Structure 1
Amino acid sequence: MDGASLRERKKQRTREALIDAAFELFSTKGFEATTVDEIAESVEVSSRTFFRYFGSKEDVATSLQLQQFLDVYSALDERPADEPVMTALRRACVQVLRAYEEGGTDATQFACVMELVQKSPAVLSRSLEMCTEQLDELARRVAVRMGVDPVSDPRPKLVAAVSSAALQVAVRAWREDEPDEKVSDLADRAFALLEAGINYPAARA
């Protein structure tokens, strides 16, 4: 057990080192000019090792966004059980976004991700794909909060889909029209519109 735990910690450290190295290179050289070989060399591992952790440069660039989804799930689980679904999602998402905007190293990487999404079509495409990939898990968690079966009740999938769309609208507004605003504030505004329309009650309401 100790050996397995040690290996897992080592793997996690390698993964984090690759992410840190990638973002450093993205910030200094730009996404397109950075190669997988350069990222791997910065951590003194082989390109083969890199591909054990990530499928592409785009996966590294959006790794922080994947972690944000996981953080949103945790924050959603911590919301009061009787809180309506869209209210809980709004507060969980905004909480996580603001934490990243204000959080030291994470804030630097978050700013870099936002810039990459703005400037790189490849990163934007992968970011949108990731949002789609997370819809089923988000719908499952919404269904738990609502106390319904997501297979027979379409509402959890609807909530997941429109919540993902709200985040994309917020990022697009920041990218194209309101670059001086915080993404968290734009997301809060988008979710407020949804909250006014499809705020289904929780099971314990």
Structure 2
Amino acid sequence: MTTSPPDDRSLPLRERKRLRTRRALADAALRMFGEKGFDATTLDELVQAVEVSKSTFFRAFPAKEAVAIEAETEVWTAYLALLGERELSGLVITQLRDCLADAVTRLDPAWDDRYVATRRLILTAPALLAYVDSYRTGVEDEVVSCLAGKLGLDADDLRIHVLAQLTTTCWSVSARAWVRGDAAGGRAALLARLDQAYRSIPASLELTVKGPPR
């Protein structure tokens, strides 16, 4: 999936039309699911609202859950694309942080509101929570594969598995707090939280507990 905006004139007309349809489906889904509920809104109702066929829907999204979390998908698609293109140098965890920050920076201005609405919708539907967890696991698997190739490591190397999961964890804690605060401070605040989360990793590993007083 490309993260290029649907009005990007550098893209071929067919690709722009495909992206516009995808965005129309995602926007309608977010509105309809928010108003009526995810489970109560049928796929037939969604495609009728956008005036497309079910086959068109399934060319854009693999499942009803996928269209509901499009704002989440945008982040990780951009992240994986940037990571795949990047020549890694220095600390890998820093490279992962920079890729994720770059991905978030490049998202279109309307993404902030879409993401907040998406995360609030996810909390109302157990099926969406499960789908996001599964989706992020898939992202982590792709990061592991990418790092194994770039670093010349075995895909079973525990270090790259830990790094992959640290990235999704840092995002989760940062974005959760940002959404809970109604996205106060905008994208800059989200990126600052993300940077703080990464910087807290070494200190978190050094936390100790003193024994009870004698």
Q: If the length of structure 2 is used for normalisation, what is the TM-score?
A: 0.69
Q: Which runs of 5+ in 1 are unaligned?
A: 199-205
Which runs of 5 or more structure 2 residues have no equivalent in the other structure? 1-11, 206-214
Find 2:71's aligned residue among 64, 69, 73.
64
Question: Does the aligned pair in 2 maintain the 1:139–1:150 contact within 8 Å?
Answer: no
What's the counterpart of residue 30 of structure 2?
23
Corresponding residue for residue 210 of structure 2: none
Distance in 1, matches of 2:83 and 2:49, equals 36
1:86–1:195 CA contact under 8 A, matched in 2:
no
Given candidates 77, 90, 100, the residue that maps to 1:93 is 100
- For residue 43 of structure 2, what is the aligned residue in structure 1? 36
Tell me which residue corresponds to 2:128. Answer: 123
What is the alpha-carbon distance in structure 1 between the residues aligned to residue 194 and residue 36 of structure 2? 30
Q: How many residues align?
A: 190
Hey, what does 2:110 align to over in structure 1?
105
Higher relative contact order (CA 8 A, sep 6+): 1
Match of 2:169 in 1: 165
Identity, % of aligned positions: 32
Is the Cα–Cα contact under 8 Å of residues 83 and 96 in structure 2 kept in the other structure? Answer: yes
Residues in 1 aligned to 2:86 and 2:202: alpha-carbon distance in whole angstroms: 15
Distance 2:64 2:50 in 1: 15
Two-structure CA RMSD over aligned residues (Å)? 3.2
**1:142 aligns to 2:147 (yes or no):** yes
Deviations, residues 24-64 of structure 1 (Å, cap 9, x unaligned): 33455453443322210122123344234334321101223
Change (3 A) 1:142 1:88: same
Amino acid at match of 1:112: A
Deviations 1:152-181 (A, max 9, x none): 5332122112222332333444567x6666
- From 148, 152, 160, give the equivalent of 1:156: 160
Distance 1:179 1:10 in 2: 32
The letter for the 1-side match of 2:42 is T
For 2:111 and 2:156, the matched residues in 1 are separated by 39
Aligned 8 A contact 2:116 2:183 in 1: no
State the alpha-carbon separation in 1 of the partners of residues 169 and 194 from structure 2: 10
